[in-house]
Amino acid sequence: MHIYRAFALFITLIVGVFIFVYSSTPFPPSPSRVFSFLSVAYHVGVFFLLSSFLLLGVKADRNLWSKEFFLVFFLSLFYAFLDELHQHFVPGRAMDLMDVGYDVVGLFSGIMLMGFLHVVQARRN
């Protein structure tokens, strides 16, 4: 395994642990769910990082990216659902499918950016 792939998987692990730890933080109960730009930015941002580094880590060959795209998409989506399920059991937190939607925006953006960069790099070579 190349060192950059190992590093990318290490960063993926760190981001995954960060998501879990942050999701484990209890919040005081609130009377209603209020839209928060910071919450949306958090979900989009961390899943952007998670999917981007995971894709770099599992990339096996320059020509086999379609398999990796789907693998990373479904693994990241599965983790997003697990994260929300986990929050259901944390005091003051709730399972919210809108958050999964924000996660999908982030993970899809990360995958698409990595795909775009892959195409640009392939055209240069």
Decide if 93 contacts 72 (C-beta within 8 A). no
- Average pLDDT in the 5-19 region? 94
Instruction: Compare 121 and 88 and report the one with higher pLDDT.
Output: 88
Element counts in the chain: helices (H) and strands (E):
4, 0
What string of DSSP letters covers 34-87?
---HHHHHHHHHHHHHHHHHHHHHH---TT-HHHHHHHHHHHHHHHHHHHHHHH
The token pair that represents 121 in the structure block: 């790099």
Supply the pLDDT for residue 107: 96
61-104: per-residue pLDDT in tens?
A: 666 567 888 999 999 999 999 999 999 999 888 888 999 999 99
Residue among 93, 11, 106 nearest 56 (CA): 11
Supply the pLDDT for residue 29: 60
